[in-house]
Structure 1
Amino acid sequence: MKLIAPGRHCDDLARALPAFRTAASVTERWGAALARVLPGGGRLLVAGNGGSAAQAQHLTAELVGRYKDDRPAYSALALHADTSSTTAIANDYGVQEVFARQTCAHGRRGDVLMLLSTSGASANLLAAATEARRIGMPVWALTGPEPNPLAAASDEALCVEAEVSATVQELHLVAVHMVCEAFDREIAARTARETRRVRAERPQAADGTPAGEERA
């Protein structure tokens, strides 16, 4: 049996991190885009297989629940989490259709589909990307090294350059948290701007205090 030196796992992660830091600016755009889509009634659909399914579901939990601070709940669905639908579709239509059919059912033009895959070659994710593009949904992908089919089929992709799938998945989790961070920051900024606008439009008393408020 081949023995792996202690710390090798951390070394793999450390080697992949510099390139990831450069590419991860895309998470800022994704977080800001979600801050425009979700408060307006749109939703985020996500999917992955195996460990990537867990990462995708982590993202929906942070949006429906919260990441750090309290804020309104927003619509985000992990397509793989509905085991009855997933297994029924796989049984009736084939495994390659499990996410595409749910995308057709739940997705609307302007919603967002995010797909996570270490290989970037999963047939069921590629079919979902095709269906989302047909509907008019932007498709984002978190994948392993490029080039890969899923990155090519998406509107935008963050591709982690790492040799080991475990490292790719670990940096996908970092990306998920960075998206949530950017999303919360933009939501907070939008809320602050709206509060200032409302206050500016509120009638003021002669002393400049907004009507209905007492001076300190």
Structure 2
Amino acid sequence: MSTTPTNLLDNSIAATARCIESLKEIRAEIDRAAELILKTVRSGNKLLICGNGGSAAEAQHFSTELVGRYFKNRRSLPSVALSSDGSLITCIGNDYGFDAAFSRQIEGLAKPGDVVIGITSSGNSANILAALETAKKLGLESISFLGRGGGKARGMATVDLIIPGDSGRCAQEAHLFLVHHFCDLIDAAVE
């Protein structure tokens, strides 16, 4: 059987559907993360969200939905995508190394009650590991969006959202789905 664009599309749709369906396996962790996110935004505290590459885009997407709006006109909610400031990232990278790109920002921006969210499909990004370690040192709660078994980040956060399977693509698609799920919950809970 030859590979055609139609076959590739059908296979991709089927793989994504299986991936999203697999989220039922981590429903308890999703519910725990939702409770933590809702508690944080209801109390006026902020989410500090970080990721690299495609995960940086997801961090920015999540933060944008909170500070701007998702569907409902509601108050702006405090959130920072730590990958967004190129000048700051390059300053920290130059002076402290790229592994400190997010942890240094958490040290300067975090207040008690804030939550750190680290997004990495491999679970092995050194700057995400440092961010989660810094959150722990500061007494902050954290959520990790992971894939491929969780990697080195597994167990570092208050709540791990480890997407079942070994596909980085699936993990990123599921992470975006979860971002939208949490935004749905926030819109329903916050005026």
Return the match for 2:187 from 184, 188, 193. 184
Contact 1:31–1:186 (Cα < 8 Å) also in 2: no
Which residue does 1:97 correspond to in 2?
100
- Please provide the CA RMSD for this pair: 1.9
Q: Distance in 2 between matches of 1:73 and 1:31?
A: 18
Q: Distance in 2 between matches of 1:130 and 1:123?
A: 11
Once the two structures are aligned, what percentage of the paired residues are identical?
32
Alignment gaps of 5+ in structure 2:
none
Return the match for 1:174 from 174, 177, 185. 177
Return the match for 2:40 from 37, 41, 46. 37
Between the two proteins, the alignment pairs up a number of residues equal to 187
Distance 1:33 1:147, change over 3 A: closer
Kindly state the Cα deviation for residue 66 of structure 1 after the two structures are TM-superposed: 1.2
Which residue does 1:17 correspond to in 2?
20
Contact 2:148–2:168 (Cα < 8 Å) also in 1: no
The one-letter amino acid of 2:94's match is N
Alignment gaps of 5+ in structure 1:
189-216
Between 148-157 and 106-115, the greater mean CA deviation after superposition: 148-157
The one-letter amino acid of 1:151's match is R
Kindly state the Cα deviation for residue 120 of structure 1 after the two structures are TM-superposed: 0.4
The one-letter amino acid of 1:20's match is L
The one-letter amino acid of 2:135's match is A
Which residue does 1:205 correspond to in 2?
none
Q: What's the TM-score, normalizing by structure 1?
A: 0.80
Q: Distance in 1 between matches of 2:77 and 2:161?
A: 23
Q: Which runs of 4+ in 1 moved over 6 A?
A: none
Which residue does 1:53 correspond to in 2?
56
Contact 2:100–2:127 (Cα < 8 Å) also in 1: yes
Between 43-52 and 139-148, the greater mean CA deviation after superposition: 139-148
Alignment of 1:190-209 (within 5 A): none
Larger-Rg structure: 1
Q: What's the TM-score, normalizing by structure 2?
A: 0.90
